[in-house]
Amino acid sequence: MKKFILKIHITPLMAKIFVYNLKLPLKIPFETSFGVQNERDVLLFRYSGDVEAWGESVTDSYPGYSYEDNGTALYIFRNYLLEILSETEDPYNFIEASKKIKGHNMAKSAVETMLWDLKAKREKKGLKELIGGKKERIESGISIGILPMERLISMVRNSLDKGYRRIKLKVKPGWDVDVVRTIRREFGDIPLTVDANQAFEKHPELVLALDKYELLMIEQPMNERNFLGHSRLQKQMSTPICLDESIHSVDDAQRMLEMDAGRIINLKIGRVGGLSESLKIIEFAGKNKIPIWCGGMLETGIGRALNVIVQSREEFRIPGDTSPSDRYFERDVIKRPFIMKNGMIDVPDGIGLGIEPDIEFIEKLSKVHEFEVV
Ligand code: OSB
Ligand code: MG
């Protein structure tokens, strides 16, 4: 009898976490200097208790961009983060307590996103309001993978026709200066950037050769740890270097500034371990007048919502890599996918992340892992 009473008292307090793993085919293969991707291997976190809340891990099945992948993210969650989550559901406290676990920023960020959505929903506020976002819409850019030249040209043309505010091309040794020259010759003075994903570590001369094409920036030419190499390059170039993989925290942003290892920041919320750290970087960039924009990891609508919301902060003044859902997928995992009008995407104005995940669709495609928050 005692046992029964205990049970009815505890049940309403119990929350569950569902982790969904599903594959979504990409409409167009995405090739970077570290590999080709034909699908997104998606990892979603759902809090199911007094309210429903969501987060997306920006990891994929292959650790080419960083050492984290879906396997490590799930492992770190199951073995360490779940326990921390049972102690605190506040995003700041969760991140603070998670600092004893080294690294694994993307895993932490996925859980933290869910906790931000949870906090905002419990307070019946939009996440935009919680983080001091002001804008109602953000400028959209597109990141185009390595493609045969004919297809690349037609994709650039198509993207300009659709209204994208900035074109980014992936480059690697062997797919470098000629590509930029061809695109410049074909399209003239369009807002153009390139992203090397660390591939020019042994070819600084190719990076320098890109300097005369008036690119808005050159993203991450050298290894993520090579601040010194980036700084040496930056001294010899007028094109700003933008750091992506190198920036894991606000300390790295400071290192970039003090070493002149780059002059623009690509912020990825997952890479820096969540929104709490992102806000520090955004404020640091604002204070030091460093241009900052938001990168992407081919997220579904759930991670995309977070990226769009963060860009409602006024420090974001240049278009990022956030494209509408239909640039990536035939069908997104949310009910009202993100669309682009006039090269702009509306910032969600509902409570929390302001999106409605399509649970039926997600469950149909997913391998599900279930956990209890105790
Ligand atoms: O380096 O910015 C990158 C995608 C996956 C991994 C790394 C990167 C990218 C992109 C795509 O460039 C941006 C997007 O459209 O989400
Ligand atoms: Mg990049």
- Residue closest to 216 by CA, chosen among 149, 285, 263: 263
What residues have a C-beta under 5 A from ligand 2, the ion? 195, 219, 244
| Cβ atoms 91, 116 nearer than 8 A | yes
What is the structure's pLDDT at 10?
Answer: 44
What's the whole-number average pLDDT of the chain? 96
Q: Which residues are catalytic?
A: 170, 268
Report the atom number in ligand 1 closest to the C-alpha of 145.
12
Cα of 365 vs centre of ligand 1, distance in Å, is: 24
Q: d(Cα 247, Cα 266) in Å, to the nearest integer?
A: 8
- Cα separation, 355 vs 284, in Å, equals 29
Q: What is the 3-state secondary structure (H, E, C) of 65-115?
A: CCCCCHHHHHHHHHHHHHHHHHHCCCHHHHHHHHCCCCCCHHHHHHHHHHH
Return the pLDDT at 14: 87
Q: What is the pLDDT of residues 318-357, one digit of tens each?
A: 999 999 999 999 999 999 999 999 999 999 999 999 999 9
Closest Cα to atom 6 of ligand 1: 297
CA of 196 to the centre of ligand 2 (A): 7
249 pLDDT above the threshold of 70: yes
Contact call for residues 43 and 19 (beta carbons, < 8 A)? yes
The verdict on the CB of residue 321 being under 6 Å from ligand 1 is yes
Q: What number of residues does the chain have?
A: 374
Please give the torsion angle defined by the CA atoms of residues 146, 147, 150 and 153, in that order, rounded to the nearest 10 degrees: -40
Q: Which pLDDT score, from 0 to 100, does residue 11 have?
A: 47
Task: Tell me what the mean pLDDT of segment 236-246 comes to.
Answer: 98
The pLDDT of 95-124, averaged and rounded, is: 98
* Pocket of ligand 1 contains residue 244 by CB under 6 Å: yes
Q: Cα dihedral angle (324, 306, 193, 59), rounded to 10 degrees?
A: -100
pLDDT, tens only, 6-48: 544 444 468 999 999 999 999 999 999 999 999 999 999 999 9
Say what the pLDDT of residue 3 is: 52
Pocket test for ligand 1, best of 33, 138, 217, 321 (most atoms within 8 A of CB): 321
Average the pLDDT over 249-270 and give the result: 98
pLDDT tens, residue by residue, 129-180: 999 999 999 999 999 999 999 999 999 999 999 999 999 999 999 999 999 9
Under 8 Å between Cβ of 234 and 261: yes
Percent of the chain with pLDDT over 70: 97
pLDDT in tens, 281-317: 999 999 999 999 999 999 999 999 999 999 999 999 9
User: In angstroms, what is the span from residue 268 Cα to ligand 2's centroid?
Assistant: 9
* Pocket flag, ligand 1, residue 55 (CB < 6 Å): no
Percentage, residues of the chain above pLDDT 90: 96
Ligand 1: nearest atom to the Cα of 298 = 16
Establish whether residue 298 lines the binding site of ligand 1, counting it when its CB lies within 6 angstroms of any ligand atom.
yes
